[in-house]
Amino acid sequence: MKRDLQKILAQADQFVKEEMIPLEMHLHQHKSWAEVEAILAEKRQMVKAMGLWTPQIPEEYGGLGLSLHEHGQLMEVLGQTLFGLYAFNCQAPDAGNMEILIEFGTDEQKEKYLKPLLAGKTRSCFSMTEKDFAGSNPVHMGTTAIQDGDDYVINGHKWFTSSAEGAAFAIVMCISQEEASSPYARASQIIVPTDNPGFEHVRKISIMGHEGAGWASHSEVRYKDCRVPKSNLLGADGAGFAIAQTRLGPGRIHHCMRWIGICERAFRMMCQRAATRELSPGKPLASKQTIQNWIAESRAEIHAARLMVLDAAQKMDEKGDKAVRIEISVIKFYCAQVLQNVLDRAIQVHGALGISDDTPLAYWYSHERGGRIYDGADEVHKSRVARTILKEYGVRV
């Protein structure tokens, strides 16, 4: 079916500006996720009625079937507001979990876990990061899954399990093939319902003073003799790393385009504040050359970041993720830094207002600082890019 992408983007942009942005500070101040979820349920129904639900999902599964390049542009629009992605049911980690269930899930798994997720009736979480093991090395972890008859018995301690509060199930990365010859064939991904007696939600982790709730939270989780049937294995035993890689490339493009949406909103706020905040009668803050430099630098950086990400997305659509691994690393560290630059300038222009919770700037500044850490720390991506380039000069490090 032929899609009119510009119409989709215009509809989404209008919805964000008219329905979501006016609500966001009210929602942000709610402590209970149940209250937030109840308010957002109406907005999600509106999105369904517009025909824009799960835009990243193939049409045969009820989505819009947008390509990565198309969805990247939509992510920029939705990223302008705190709950935009959730309203359209394309938020992480659910979006990634949907995609791997579609590609690797059995018919039984799709019926039990995927369908409710696609319908927005449930949420999920992804449980990989561990406190005592470097997250940038996903083949090195302590959580194990031991086969016992027709079951796996999982034991381990996870950290930063995104969106665990209120999730119906977790997809858990764990070591199931300890003796595998390759370190990349040791881990598996296993579905664990959160009502399993062996699943312990220890706590929500406070992020720079904000605990978060529901989908917008990160949790510490323990698996204690957590017994699940072997039928909960996602894909093949030992294929966990390979499955994780299939979600990371597209996921990084999603993150980068969402960040660009945040940048555009912060940029508009910065310009508006600079134009209207007076230093003295008739003399706006924008008259200062330093402010003008910040505006010009931000415009250039955002524009460059957008073109880089859309180029990577188009190449991935055409050639697959293996062909653009360097491009993905480049956009990951570059866009994360642009985001920090733009937010910092916007806050500085807003002055005391910028560090208050009367605008979304402080929230973004604290929560999106993690962009330089998750999905591979900046230093890891930079090293990968440099080592790949240096090979062309005969240097192997």
Q: State the pLDDT confidence band at 396, using cuts at 50, 70 and 90.
A: confident
Residue after which a domain boundary falls, among 216, 234, 252: 234
pLDDT for position 215: 81
Q: Is residue 103 a part of any domain in this protein?
A: no
Q: What is the DSSP letter of 153?
A: E
DSSP sequence for 268-308: HHHHHHHHH-EEETTEEGGGSHHHHHHHHHHHHHHHHHHHH
Q: Is residue 397 a part of any domain in this protein?
A: no
**159 vs 136, more confident:** 159
- Same domain? For 254 and 354 the reply is yes
3-class SS of residue 367:
helix
For 62, list phi and psi in degrees, rounded to 5: 95, 5
Structure tokens at 39: 């308010």
In the chain, how many domains are there? 3
End-to-end CA distance of the chain: 49
- Same domain? For 369 and 281 the reply is yes
Q: What is the pLDDT of residues 77-99, one digit of tens each?
A: 999 998 999 999 999 999 999 99
Q: Which amino acid is at 10?
A: A
Q: Is residue 109 a part of any domain in this protein?
A: no
- Same domain? For 288 and 350 the reply is yes
pLDDT for position 228: 98
- Same domain? For 335 and 313 the reply is yes
Q: Is residue 97 a part of any domain in this protein?
A: no
CATH number of the domain at 147, please. Answer: 2.40.110.10
In the predicted model, what is the mean pLDDT of residues 299-323? 95
Q: What is the pLDDT of residues 349-386, one digit of tens each?
A: 999 999 998 999 999 999 999 999 988 899 999 999 99
Q: Which long-range contacts (CB under 8 A, 24 or more apart) does 111-115 make?
A: 113/168, 113/169, 113/191, 114/61
Q: State the pLDDT confidence band at 31, using cuts at 50, 70 and 90.
A: low
Compute how many other C-beta atoms are within 10 angstroms of the C-beta atom of residue 49: 9
- Same domain? For 255 and 212 the reply is no
pLDDT for position 187: 96
pLDDT for position 1: 52
- Same domain? For 185 and 74 the reply is no
93 prior amide bond cis, ω within 30: yes
Q: State the pLDDT confidence band at 131, using cuts at 50, 70 and 90.
A: confident
- Same domain? For 84 and 215 the reply is no
pTM value is 0.93
CATH number of the domain at 33, please. Answer: 1.10.540.10
Q: What is the pLDDT of residues 231-275, one digit of tens each?
A: 999 999 999 999 998 888 888 999 999 999 999 999 999 999 999
Q: What is the pLDDT of residues 34-70, one digit of tens each?
A: 888 888 999 999 999 999 999 999 999 999 999 999 9
- Same domain? For 377 and 306 the reply is yes
- Same domain? For 56 and 153 the reply is no
Q: Is residue 116 a part of any domain in this protein?
A: no
- Same domain? For 219 and 290 the reply is no
- Measured CA to CA, the distance from residue 312 to residue 323 in angstroms comes to 10
- Same domain? For 161 and 188 the reply is yes
Nearest to 184 by CA among 246, 136, 139: 139
Compute how many other C-beta atoms are within 10 angstroms of the C-beta atom of residue 185: 18
Q: What percent of the chain has pLDDT over 90?
A: 82
Q: What is the pLDDT of residues 140-174, one digit of tens each?
A: 899 999 999 999 999 999 999 999 999 999 999 99
Question: Which residues have C-beta within 8 Å of that of residue 305, sequence separation ≥ 6?
Answer: 256, 259, 260, 263, 331, 334, 335, 338
Structure tokens at 272: 């508006």
In the predicted model, what is the mean pLDDT of residues 299-307? 98
Residue after which a domain boundary falls, among 234, 254, 280: 234
Q: Is residue 180 a part of any domain in this protein?
A: yes
Residue after which a domain boundary falls, among 201, 234, 267: 234
Residue 302 near residue 264, CB atoms below 8 Å: yes
Q: Is residue 53 a part of any domain in this protein?
A: yes
The whole domain housing 246 covers 242-391
Q: Which residue is it, tokens 């997720």?
A: 117
Q: Is residue 299 a part of any domain in this protein?
A: yes
- Same domain? For 169 and 246 the reply is no
Lowest mean pLDDT among 210-219, 293-302, 365-374: 210-219
Average pLDDT in the chain: 93
Q: State the pLDDT confidence band at 2, using cuts at 50, 70 and 90.
A: low
Q: State the pLDDT confidence band at 29, using cuts at 50, 70 and 90.
A: low
**How many distinct helices (H) and strands (E) make up the chain?**
14, 10
- Measured CA to CA, the distance from residue 173 to residue 181 in angstroms comes to 18
